[in-house]
Structure formats: C-alpha cells, structure tokens
Amino acid sequence: MSAGRVVGLLISILMMVTGCVGFEKEGSLTISFDPESIELMRKSEEVPALCDFYLEVVGSKGKTIYSGKFGEAPDKMMVAPGSYNISVRSRKFTRPAFSSPQYGDDQLVMVSSGEEVGVLLKCVMVNAGIRLRMGPEFLSVYPHALVFIECAGGKLNYPYAEKRVAYFPAGEVTVFLDLDGKRKNLFTRKLVKREVLDIRLVVPGRPAYGKEVEVELDTSKFWIDERFSIGGPGGGSGSGGSVMEDALSVGMARTAIGRKDVWVYGYIVGCMSGSRLLMEEPFSVSSNLVIASNRHVDEREAGLAVELRKKEVREALNLEDHPELLGKMVYLRGDLVDSYYGDAGIKSVDDFSL
C-alpha cells in the first residue's frame, strides 16, 4: 500500500472516530433558587440560609459532579451532554426527630451538546410531621403508658408533655402504646410530603373534638387537624362513620379497611385513568373519583379511589361532566376495600353530600 493511500486511510478512520463522538461540546448548568422560594425562606425561621443548603449533582451513570454546600458550588458547572439528577436539602434527615423539618427539591435535567441550562430550585418541605395531643381524659385512662410513633426508619418516643412536632420521612407511620411492655397499636397513617398532622387522642365517652380542618400555614406546608378515638367513634376499629355527622377522614378510613356502609369525607382531587391520577381538565373518565385529606395531594397512594357505580351517584359526581367539583369537599357512604386502582378505595357508594 502506498504512503498516500495509508495517509488517506488514517484520515478516514480519524473522521469516522470523530464523527462517532460527534465533536460534542460540553454544556453547562447554572443552578439557582426560585425567587418565590427565596422570599418564603426569608419569612421562615425553620429554613436555614441558602448558602447552607446541601447540593448534589449526579450524572446518569452515577458520577457525582458536585456534592457540598450550595454557597460553595461554582456559578456555572461545565458538564458533558447527558441527564443529571439535582437534589438540594436544607438538612440531613435519616431518622425520625423532633423539630426537624427538611426542605428541598429534586429535578432531572437534560443537557445537550453546547447547551446552557438554567435550573430553578424550589423550597418545599420534603418530609412530614406529627404532633400528638393527649388530654386529661387520656392521661386518666393510660397514666403510665409510653406513646411511640414508628416508621421504617425507626421509632420515636412521644412524651405526654411534648409540644413539638415529630418529623418522619413520607410514608407509613404507626402510633402505638407501650403498656408495661405490651404493645397496643392505635392506628397507621400514610404521611404525604409537606403534611403535618395535629392528632388528638380521645377516649370513648369523653368530649369529642371537631372534624378534620385544613389550615393554611404558608405556601410550602399545610396542617391537618384530626381526631382519633381509642376504641370509639373516629377510630379505625370503632363505630365512627356510621352517620354522616361522624364521618371518617381519608386517613382514618385507610385504617378501617373492610368496614361497610361507612361515611367518609375528603376533597375531590382527581380521577384515575389506568394507573395515572388525572388532576386537571380535560377529564375523560366518569367511572371514579379520588378523594384526599387536602386539596394539595398529588399521589394516588395518599388518597382513596372511589367507584362511581350507582347511576345517580356517577351522574352527580363524575369530573368528566362536572369539572367544577375539583377541590370540593364531599361526603360519601360506601364499603372500604383494600384494592381499587392499586390501593385502598371505596366501592358500592350509595349516598353522598357535597
């Protein structure tokens, strides 16, 4: 082979190689906080300074691009084309603890060759909390009991005199009593991100408290006020829900699976289409609803799917024909089942009230 042909072949190979890698240029990531979140953080004593947030940027192959304080991160990160997971947290949170709200955001972004990508992070609470209240009547019945709240990450003792909020990762928690070494489960509740439950433990036959009330705290967190009656109305194993005036909240209903002809109340947050929760117009399904303890829920597992089988109920409540009902409070009577559209739900609804 002549020298000229060798040189030509080498040039061809070089062009093929460079063509494969495409002369791809690095892109860049510029990460900042959304202005509305910054304003919120200035008003809240719970949120640390922006510079102290913990920032992590990880590529699709698991390579860490940056891990450290937000205030020490470069203004612009040069990265190869690809996808990147960006996570920011106000504090480390691995086990349940008092007075430990965790704020942050998670985003997945794509960076193309030579592209400059700006990322706006939001600041919302990403864990959840519970505050328990035990009144004099509870103390008189259980004067020496220990109260615990348990989740997959551990358990936390909640003393009778405690007034702080206990924080947990989003997911299931169980409240139980330790009666001289004997465990008595009170209820299990699935916590949603940003949710803080204010729960009153009530003993049967004592003065009752009001129904569930949503109280807007700020734009990043909401509170739910609930009542739990040990062995009585309002409790999953009691007679609560037998009449509309004593309807169960969504959280209580999830602990009462198997009961029939039970009244439950909640906000209409959408409907199910296959495995997807539809939460905005246009709605294309008339066979079901999803209700939740608050209007902000965006996860199917945090609510109850409601079968609209009876003609009169379906015609009055389905979102396809009545999108104006989205976000409205509804009372429903039906059977609590463990599986409807993949999770707990209500079937055989035969009565309702808006």
Using DSSP's 3-state secondary structure scheme, residue 307 falls into: strand
Which pLDDT score is estimated for 217? 39
DSSP 215-247: EEEETTEEEEEEEEETTSTTSTTSSTTSSGGGP
Phi, psi of 51 (to 5 degrees): -65, -20
Across 77-91, 117-131, 216-230, 281-295, the highest mean pLDDT is recorded for: 77-91
DSSP 152-163: TTEEEE--TT--
Q: Reply yes or no on whether the pLDDT at 22 is more than 60.
A: no
Tokens representing 318 are 């389905």
The total number of residues shown for the chain amounts to 354
**Identity of residue 27:** G
Q: Reply yes or no on whether the pLDDT at 55 is more than 80.
A: yes
DSSP 123-163: -EE-SEEEEEEE-HHHHHHSTT-EEEEEETTEEEE--TT--
Q: How far apart are CA 228 and CA 201, in angstroms?
A: 5
Instruction: Grade residue 337 by pLDDT with cuts at 50, 70 and 90.
Output: very high
Which pLDDT score is estimated for 221? 66
Instruction: Grade residue 41 by pLDDT with cuts at 50, 70 and 90.
Output: low
91 with 161: CB under 8 angstroms? Answer: no
Instruction: Grade residue 156 by pLDDT with cuts at 50, 70 and 90.
Output: very high
Mean pLDDT of all residues in 235-249 = 69
Helix (H) and strand (E) counts in the chain: 5, 24
Q: How far apart are CA 38 and CA 32, in angstroms?
A: 10
Tell me which long-range contacts 211-216 makes (C-beta under 8 A, separation of at least 24): 211/247, 211/249, 211/265, 212/249, 212/265, 212/293, 214/293, 214/294, 214/295
Lowest mean per-residue pLDDT among 30-34, 270-274, 297-301: 297-301
Instruction: Grade residue 115 by pLDDT with cuts at 50, 70 and 90.
Output: very high
Chain-wide mean pLDDT for the chain? Answer: 83
Using DSSP's 3-state secondary structure scheme, residue 193 falls into: coil
> For residue 277, which of 290, 286, 268, 265 has the smallest C-alpha distance?
290
Query: Residue ranges of the alpha helices (H) in the chain?
Result: 3-21, 35-43, 136-141, 250-253, 311-317
Burial class (CB in 10 A: 0-12, 13-18, 19+), 59: middle
Quickly tell me which residue has 């060798």 as its tokens: 6
Which pLDDT score is estimated for 336? 95
Cis peptide before 282 (omega within 30 of 0): yes
Mean pLDDT of all residues in 293-302 = 77
% the chain with pLDDT above 90: 49
- pTM metric for this prediction: 0.68
Instruction: Grade residue 232 by pLDDT with cuts at 50, 70 and 90.
Output: very low
Q: What is the number of other CB atoms lying within 10 angstroms of the CB of residue 294? A: 21
Q: Reply yes or no on whether the pLDDT at 183 is more than 70.
A: yes
- Sorted by sequence, the CB contacts under 8 Å of residue 202 that are 6+ apart come out as 135, 137, 138, 208, 209, 227, 228, 229, 230, 232, 234
Mean pLDDT of all residues in 158-171 = 93
93 with 154: CB under 8 angstroms? Answer: no
Give the residue with greater pLDDT, 113 vs 24.
113
